[in-house]
Chains A and B, each alone.
Chain A
Amino acid sequence: MIRALFAVFIFLASIGSAFAVLPDEMLKDAALEHRARAISQELRCLVCQNESIDDSDATLARDLRMIVRERLTAGDSDAQVIGFVAQRYGNFVLLKPPFQADTVLLWLLPFLFLAIGLFAAWRYFKQPGADTLELENELLKGD
């Protein structure tokens, strides 16, 4: 745990500035800035470990935050901005992985597992012997 945290911080620290979003980056338009923050939380800082560009203080994250704000100011929709960044930096930049051939299982496995788990539990309830529950209960009395 420590070691990996270590690694991230050594890296972050080596980059310099101590803060993520800085006052000079922020847009005047509060609604637009609000959207920029929300989008930033969905985009990954490419050189960090699973940190969004909103949280990261890496220089690259700052550049990406600027791009997001530029596109928003130019009138792009949220999806367009995310698409714009993903087109240039690849799917790696998306903290919410796209639903595509190699991520179908990633998205569906949890629910598939749930179905299997519930089915197994159901089988357990319906196992032979459950009918003789009362009999077993008698046997177990005084336990």
Chain B
Amino acid sequence: MIAELGHFALILSLMVSLLQATLPLYGASRQDRGLMALASFAAVTAFTLVATSFVCLAWAFVIDDFSVQLVAANSQTTKPVIYKITGVWANHEGSMLLWVLILTIFSALIALFGLNIPKPLKARVLAVQGMIATAFSAFLIFTSNPFLRLAQAPAEGNGMNPLLQDPGLAIHPPCLYMGYVGFSVAFSFAVAALIEGKVDAAWARWVRPWVLLAWCFLTMGITLGSFWAYYILGWGGWWFWDPVENVSFMPWLVGTALLHSALVVERRHALVAWTILLAILTFSLSLIGTFVVRSGVLTSVHSFATDPARGFFILVIIFGATGGALLLYALRIPHVKKGVPFGIVSREASLLLNNVFLVVSAATVFFGTFWPLFIDLFGSDKISVGAPYYNITFVPLFIPIFVIMVLGPFLKWKRDNLKSVLQQLSWPLAVALIFAIAVIGINLAHHLFTAAGIGLSVWIIAGSLWVFVKRTKLFEGSLLQALNILRQTPRAYFGLLLGHLGVGMVLLAITVVTTWQQEKIVTLKVGDQTHIGYYDVTLTKIETIIGPNYEAERGAFALSQGGLTFSVISAEHRYYALQQQQTNQTGIRTNLISNTYIALGDADKSGGWTVRLYYHPMAPWLWIGGFTMALGGFISLSDRRFRVGVAQRDKMATFPIGNTAGVAS
């Protein structure tokens, strides 16, 4: 009964979304207030219906209703309740329902909080959101229906993949989806602006918080995914250039570009057409990400049976959305009035240059991800593209971004002088060079790349902090005065600081951990001792643990330094009988500077255990850096200018598209 209620709500929401996608559009062109207002009502209704549907499905999981096919296929009675709930999105159908739920959440948020958006624009934005919701609800109902019943309910379900029974993976997909789907708002605003034929600074001001919100979640999602892979896979890797990682990284790269170019539209009324294009591309890449993962097009033939109908359906959605938006773009954008020009040395120019590098980097990831598929389809060979390719192409293309991102905040809008900017930055530059030279000195020039990486990360960290030193006149006035200025500094500045600091931290961590990590693979018997990093490690005992739905062998490892044991960490590998699968629970001891990482393998005949030990200096900062970036985004979002300044429309800022365009004055 509950499942039918969810099913019914889902079908109703498809109907409501269809209304939301059509009538408000007509209403906006006719200036019909009633039809325009319908958009908001429909958006909130669709959200309520999808939320109901989602709760019903979660309920079926919690009460182990194995008459629902999805529950029988993906759950089991002995699973802890928390994983019964997260199990809702740990499968194809449920995760697509989550996708639609998040989409309707964003639509409802626009409807409820976008009170100062002009009615026609709001109606059109919500209509485009409605189109996306319609497409995905139809996809859900017709190809991936989560509410199908079984004629005969089994007594026990098939269980959930043990690797997903993990707190990290419980929150990783919702974060990632908040990012992917959040970019739909930017897309809808872009398409609505193209339909309307008007892009102005106010438009950028409305769209930017949404882009920022989506970007923050995507950043967290990727960071969580990387951390999860690190601790669960048992070989200490944190980024694999795997297709499923790449497809989440591409929207992040282009979304980062969008975030910055929208700033230029807002402040300087330039890069208008480019920003619209980025908004379309970012969401298209998010859709491609969904397609790649859902269709299984890039997974090996050995791995998974996927339904071609699903892949085809999403492909049609991608072509419809991207193709339609790009066609509209091609038709409308030639008439867009050119933005305000700027000098080659200016803040706009630095943002534009970084945009170029970000987009080219994203394109590189795109080629690397899809070229093997392309060759497979049209060529005679089969090739692979892995880390060595990206090291040669992506890495050098990304390095200029690190250089320019520090200069940007010091450059004035419109036009500036490079020499004066470098003079302002002479201290961070000097510090960065000292670090780089010191590294070369220590390593006797063996690690030129390490020196470059450390130099650049110090440049970013010092340069970002320097924004505040300069702003508060720390070395020029009194400390009190500096604190006073700091207090009056808008939050967006802190967002900038943390966002850029985060990048510096991640780069520093990557450089250090890649250069100085240690690995040891040994066979240990109970009582044996080995050494990794600065610690002696003793295997003190091995015990068998019976978990709720698994059995595990757990090794206790004593960490000591100079004969003094200061910590015992446990590493286990679990065996899930129902799924006949093994997983690793690695033992990680961190002091926030470095990680000591232990993974337990199998026993050999003579009672020795295979043990993998790693020393990962600076590794924690990979994820601290990632979260710092996201935190920066959230702090920017809380800037009051996002809320107060929204209503202030600037006549100067209007750039009408089309033949009716007036002169912007």
User: Taking beta carbons and an 8 Å cutoff, which residues of A are in contact with B?
Assistant: 1-11, 13-14, 17-23, 26, 41-42, 44, 47-52, 55, 90-98, 102-103, 105-107, 109-111, 113-114, 117-118, 120-121, 124-125, 127, 129-130, 132-133, 136-137, 139-140, 143
A sample of 15 cross-chain residue pairs with beta-carbon separation below 8 angstroms, ordered by A number, consists of A9-B163, A21-B521, A44-B386, A50-B385, A55-B235, A55-B237, A92-B381, A95-B385, A96-B388, A97-B383, A97-B385, A111-B397, A113-B360, A130-B343, A140-B340
Q: Given A1-B225, A4-B299, A5-B163, are A114 and B356 also a contact pair (CB < 8 Å)?
A: yes
- Contact in complex: A136, B340 (CB < 8 Å): yes
- Contact in complex: B360, A117 (CB < 8 Å): yes
Q: Is B427 an interface residue (CB 8 A)?
A: no
Q: Chain B contacts of A137 at CB under 8 A?
A: 414-415
Seed contacts A2-B169, A52-B386; 13 additional CB < 8 Å A-B pairs? A2-B173, A5-B163, A9-B161, A18-B573, A44-B384, A50-B384, A96-B388, A96-B389, A106-B371, A113-B364, A114-B356, A120-B356, A121-B349
Q: Chain A contacts of B152 at CB under 8 A?
A: none
**Nearest CB of chain B from residue A27's CB, rounded to whole Å:** 12
Residue of B nearest to A52 (CB): B386
- Contact in complex: B243, A4 (CB < 8 Å): yes
**Chain B CB within 10 A, most for which of A124, A127, A130:** A124
- Contact in complex: B381, A95 (CB < 8 Å): no
- Contact in complex: A6, B356 (CB < 8 Å): no
- Contact in complex: A130, B341 (CB < 8 Å): yes
Q: Chain B contacts of A118 at CB under 8 A?
A: 356
A-B contact count (CB 8 A): 216
- Contact in complex: B293, A4 (CB < 8 Å): yes
Q: Is B363 an interface residue (CB 8 A)?
A: yes
Cross-chain contact of A106 among B352, B359, B367, B582 (Cβ < 8 A): B367
- Contact in complex: A106, B385 (CB < 8 Å): yes
- Contact in complex: B383, A5 (CB < 8 Å): no
User: Taking beta carbons and an 8 Å cutoff, which residues of B are in contact with A?
Assistant: 90, 92, 95, 161, 163-164, 169, 172-173, 176, 225, 234-235, 237, 240-245, 247-248, 289, 292-294, 296, 298-300, 302-304, 338, 340-344, 349, 352-353, 356-357, 359-360, 363-364, 367-368, 371, 375, 379, 381-389, 392-394, 397, 414-415, 521-523, 573, 579-584, 599, 601-602, 610, 612, 650, 652, 665
**Nearest CB of chain A from residue B71's CB, rounded to whole Å:** 17
Cross-chain contact of B521 among A26, A90, A93, A121 (Cβ < 8 A): A26
- Contact in complex: B92, A23 (CB < 8 Å): no
Nearest first, the 3 A-B pairs at minimum CB distance are A95-B386, A96-B388, A7-B304
- Contact in complex: B602, A117 (CB < 8 Å): no
**Nearest CB of chain B from residue A55's CB, rounded to whole Å:** 6
In angstroms, Cα B292 to Cα A105, docked, is 22
Residue of A nearest to B290 (CB): A1
Residue of B nearest to A133 (CB): B341
In angstroms, Cα B442 to Cα A138, docked, is 54
Q: Chain A contacts of B599 at CB under 8 A?
A: 19
Q: Chain A contacts of B650 at CB under 8 A?
A: 143
Q: Chain B contacts of A8 at CB under 8 A?
A: 299, 303
In angstroms, Cα B612 to Cα A55, docked, is 12
Q: Chain B contacts of A90 at CB under 8 A?
A: 381-382
Q: Given A55-B235, A103-B383, A125-B344, are A10 and B161 also a contact pair (CB < 8 Å)?
A: yes
In angstroms, Cα B233 to Cα A18, docked, is 9
**Nearest CB of chain B from residue A119's CB, rounded to whole Å:** 10
In angstroms, Cα B240 to Cα A98, docked, is 20
Q: Chain A contacts of B382 at CB under 8 A?
A: 90-92
Q: Chain A contacts of B367 at CB under 8 A?
A: 105-106, 109-110
Cross-chain contact of A20 among B95, B235, B573 (Cβ < 8 A): B235
Cross-chain contact of B234 among A1, A18, A97 (Cβ < 8 A): A18
Q: Chain B contacts of A10 at CB under 8 A?
A: 161, 303-304, 581
Residue of B nearest to A4 (CB): B244
- Contact in complex: B393, A107 (CB < 8 Å): yes
- Contact in complex: A18, B164 (CB < 8 Å): no
Q: Given A3-B92, A7-B304, A136-B341, are A13 and B364 also a contact pair (CB < 8 Å)?
A: no
Chain A binding surface SS class: helix
- Contact in complex: B582, A121 (CB < 8 Å): no
In angstroms, Cα B91 to Cα A10, docked, is 14
- Contact in complex: A114, B360 (CB < 8 Å): yes
**Nearest CB of chain A from residue B372's CB, rounded to whole Å:** 8
In angstroms, Cα B393 to Cα A91, docked, is 19
**Nearest CB of chain A from residue B204's CB, rounded to whole Å:** 14
Q: Chain A contacts of B353 at CB under 8 A?
A: 121
Residue of B nearest to A11 (CB): B303
- Contact in complex: B340, A48 (CB < 8 Å): no
Q: Given A113-B363, A117-B356, are A96 and B95 also a contact pair (CB < 8 Å)?
A: no
Q: Chain B contacts of A93 at CB under 8 A?
A: 384
**Chain A CB within 10 A, most for which of B169, B294, B610, B652:** B610
Cross-chain contact of B386 among A96, A107, A120, A139 (Cβ < 8 A): A96
- Contact in complex: A3, B293 (CB < 8 Å): yes
**Chain A CB within 10 A, most for which of B245, B341, B582:** B341
In angstroms, Cα B509 to Cα A6, docked, is 28
In angstroms, Cα B344 to Cα A125, docked, is 6
Q: Chain A contacts of B349 at CB under 8 A?
A: 121, 125
Q: Chain A contacts of B242 at CB under 8 A?
A: 49-51
Q: Given A11-B302, A50-B240, A95-B388, are A2 and B383 also a contact pair (CB < 8 Å)?
A: no
Q: Given A10-B581, A133-B415, are A92 and B384 also a contact pair (CB < 8 Å)?
A: yes
Q: Chain A contacts of B344 at CB under 8 A?
A: 125
**Nearest CB of chain B from residue A114's CB, rounded to whole Å:** 5
- Contact in complex: A94, B383 (CB < 8 Å): yes
- Contact in complex: B602, A19 (CB < 8 Å): yes
In angstroms, Cα B166 to Cα A5, docked, is 14
Q: Chain A contacts of B581 at CB under 8 A?
A: 9-10, 13-14
Q: Chain B contacts of A23 at CB under 8 A?
A: 521-523, 610
Q: Chain B contacts of A11 at CB under 8 A?
A: 300, 302-303
Q: Chain A contacts of B95 at CB under 8 A?
A: 2-3
In angstroms, Cα B371 to Cα A118, docked, is 24
**Nearest CB of chain A from residue B375's CB, rounded to whole Å:** 6
Residue of B nearest to A97 (CB): B383
**Nearest CB of chain A from residue B144's CB, rounded to whole Å:** 11
In angstroms, Cα B602 to Cα A4, docked, is 26
Cross-chain contact of A129 among B176, B341, B582, B601 (Cβ < 8 A): B341
In angstroms, Cα B559 to Cα A38, docked, is 29
In angstroms, Cα B612 to Cα A42, docked, is 21
Q: Chain B contacts of A14 at CB under 8 A?
A: 580-581
**Nearest CB of chain A from residue B369's CB, rounded to whole Å:** 9
In angstroms, Cα B294 to Cα A10, docked, is 16
Cross-chain contact of A49 among B247, B303, B383, B579 (Cβ < 8 A): B303
- Contact in complex: A143, B652 (CB < 8 Å): yes
- Contact in complex: A50, B414 (CB < 8 Å): no
**Chain B CB within 10 A, most for which of A17, A90, A143:** A143
Q: Chain A contacts of B92 at CB under 8 A?
A: 3
In angstroms, Cα B343 to Cα A9, docked, is 52
- Contact in complex: B303, A7 (CB < 8 Å): yes
Q: Chain A contacts of B580 at CB under 8 A?
A: 13-14
- Contact in complex: B610, A3 (CB < 8 Å): no
Q: Chain B contacts of A6 at CB under 8 A?
A: 161, 163-164, 304
Residue of B nearest to A127 (CB): B341
